[in-house]
Structure 1
């Protein structure tokens, strides 16, 4: 989920924790639990600072080890090590339980996004991305905000957020059913599909679809169970050429290939340089595919510039390549 949703979830869990008699009856415990749930709902995304280095490092590592099983176990201990010395009167067990729940819930809800997490590490490095809930879901965010407003006006926070989470559980189940129904419709529409990637949008009934068959890639839009194919590309294996092999040594392209499960590629030759471009097919927007990796090489196959990330104009790409020039 996005940062804003994780923030309101942290406050909401602090309110929900008042259903715990130990928390409700002990002020120091209640205060420490609220701080613990707020920090716990944010701490797995501390790897966002990697974006300050470059997109390649961020894409390869975001939601990786910080969302792993060992991290989920260790983050609450690290948070408590900071909070408990400041509030030694707090009940240590219940502080740990609610802080752990906040960290766990952060990772759990993230697996429902299209981006996913490596939540199964160290047992598996596979990205778990169910593609059911958009990274920012207006309904989920608004429900949390409503709960916080009601709390501010004096409503019982435990009961309020218990009811809200019952509603959200129903919402998740409805989204899971819609996702499952859409995949069945896709299989009926494209029976040769080998891989189906369905990504949610902020609109409840709108979905992005990428399908891989033996010979083709299909990019489509889903509305409820209706499938509209927007683009079709021949599935051409990446060639074993000197230009491609040289480009694969680039950190940006390497990060893209680590992250993107369905893409097409292009190689253009100009008077004094080559340009290799890989295009992720999952994020079509207004006829454009904005998530790319681009590598430029001179005629001696030395990398002169590269970039991976979101590009919405040729001017922005040119500037990014200039910034990332070696």
Structure 2
């Protein structure tokens, strides 16, 4: 989920902590727990700073080790230790318990996004991505804001946030049902599919569709059970040549391949004499473009002159990024 949603979830969990008599009867413990749930709800996303280094590192590691099983154990311990120094009168066990719930909830809800997490590390580096909730879901965010506002105006926090999470559980179940209906509609449309990926959007009934048959990729949108295929792309095996092998060894393209399960490729000669190898993720079609790409420019001696991976919404901006990389 996005940082804003994680924040309001941390506040809501802090309010729900008042159901714990130890928290409710001790103002110091409540203050520490509220801080713990807010910090814990944000802590796993500290790896966002990797984007300051480059997109390749960010794509490979975001929601990786910081969302792993060891991290879910270590984050609450570190946060509890820090807060116990600031709020010495707080009950440490209950502070740890609610902070742990905040960290666990952060990682758990991220599993339901299309991006997913490596939540099973160190046992598996597989990305767990159920793809039923958009990274920013206005309904989930809005319900939390309403519940927090009601609490601010005097509503009982335990009752308010208990009802909130019962509604959200029902909402998740409903999203799974809608996703299943969309997948069935895609299978009925394509018939010989090998792989179907449907990803949520901010609108409840609209889904992005990317599918693969034995011979073609299909990209489109679904509204409920109505599927519109916008692009049908013939599957071509990527050439097994020294040029391609060299390009795929680049950190930007390697990061892209590790992240993208469904992509097309293009190889073209540039006016400058360089050769461009471009990989195109088919899951994120927007305004007739595929904005998530990885590109490498190579010379005749197979030296990588420049490369880039990331979300780019115009060709001019992509070329500027590549020029910066080669300078």
**TM-score normalized with structure 2 length:** 0.98
How many residues of Structure 1 are paired with residues of Structure 2 in the alignment?
A: 326
Other-structure match for 1:248: 248
Q: 1:238: Cα distance to partner? A: 1.4
- Report the alpha carbon displacement of residue 270 of structure 1 after superposing the two structures with TM: 2.7
How much does 1:246 deviate? 1.4
Residue 283 of structure 2: aligned partner: 282
Give the match for residue 72 of structure 1.
72
Cα deviation code 1:98-152 (max 9, x no counterpart):
1000000000100110000001111111101111000000001111111111111
Cα distance per residue 1:209-246 (max 9 Å; x no partner):
11111211111211111111111111111111122111
Q: Spell out the pairing of 1:87-102 with structure 2 (5 A cutoff).
A: 87-102=87-102
Equivalent residue, structure 1, for 2:196: 196
Query: How many angstroms apart in 1 are the aligned matches of 2:138 and 2:113?
Result: 14
* Range that drifts further, 182-191 or 292-301: 182-191
What is the CA–CA distance in structure 1 between the aligned matches of 2:322 and 2:137, rounded to whole Å?
33
Q: Does 1:221 align with 2:211?
A: no
Output one character per residue of 1:183-229: Cα deviation in whole Å (capped at 9) or x when no partner: 12222222211111110000000000111112111112111111111
Structure 1 unaligned segments of length 5 or more: list them: none
Q: Indicate the residue corresponding to 1:56 in structure 2.
A: 56
| Other structure's SS at 1:104 match | helix
State which drifts further: 207-216 or 257-266. Answer: 207-216
> Counterpart in 2 of 1:145?
145
Give the distance between the partners of 2:320 and 2:314, measured in 1 at CA.
10
Distance 2:194 2:121 in 1: 26
SS of corresponding position for 1:41: helix
CA distance in 2, matches of 1:112, 1:13: 19
Q: Tell me what 1:311 maps to.
A: 312
Secondary structure at the aligned position of 2:193 is classed as coil
1:302 match? 303
| SS, match of residue 300 in structure 1 | coil
Runs of 4+ residues over 6 Å off in structure 1: none
Asked if residue 273 in structure 1 is aligned to residue 240 in structure 2, the reply is no
Q: What TM-score, normalized by structure 1, do the two folds share?
A: 0.98
SS in 2 for 1:324: helix
Q: Secondary structure at the match of 2:249?
A: coil
Given that 1:265 and 1:276 are in contact with CA atoms closer than 8 Å, whether structure 2 keeps it comes out as: yes
Task: List per-residue Cα deviations over 1:56-99 (Å, max 9, x = no partner).
Answer: 00000000010011111111001011001222221121111110
* Structure 2 gap segments, 5+ residues each: none
Superposed displacement of residue 43, structure 1: 0.3
Q: Hey, what's the Cα distance between the residues in 2 that align with 1:118 and 1:197?
A: 18
1:120 — aligned with what?
A: 120
- Correspondence list, 1:228-247, <5 A: 228-247=228-247
Match of 1:42, SS? helix
> 2:21 aligns to what?
21
Cα distance in 2 for partners of 1:237, 1:24 equals 62
Following superposition, the deviation at residue 302 of structure 1 comes to: 0.9
Q: Using the alignment, how far apart are the partners of 1:214 and 1:69 within structure 2?
A: 37
Tell me, yes or no, if structure 1 residue 183 matches structure 2 residue 183.
yes
Q: Deviations over 1:277-317 (max 9, x none)?
A: 00000000111110000111112211111110011112111
Say what the alpha-carbon RMSD is for the aligned residues. Answer: 1.0
Task: Give the aligned partner of residue 33 of structure 1.
Answer: 33
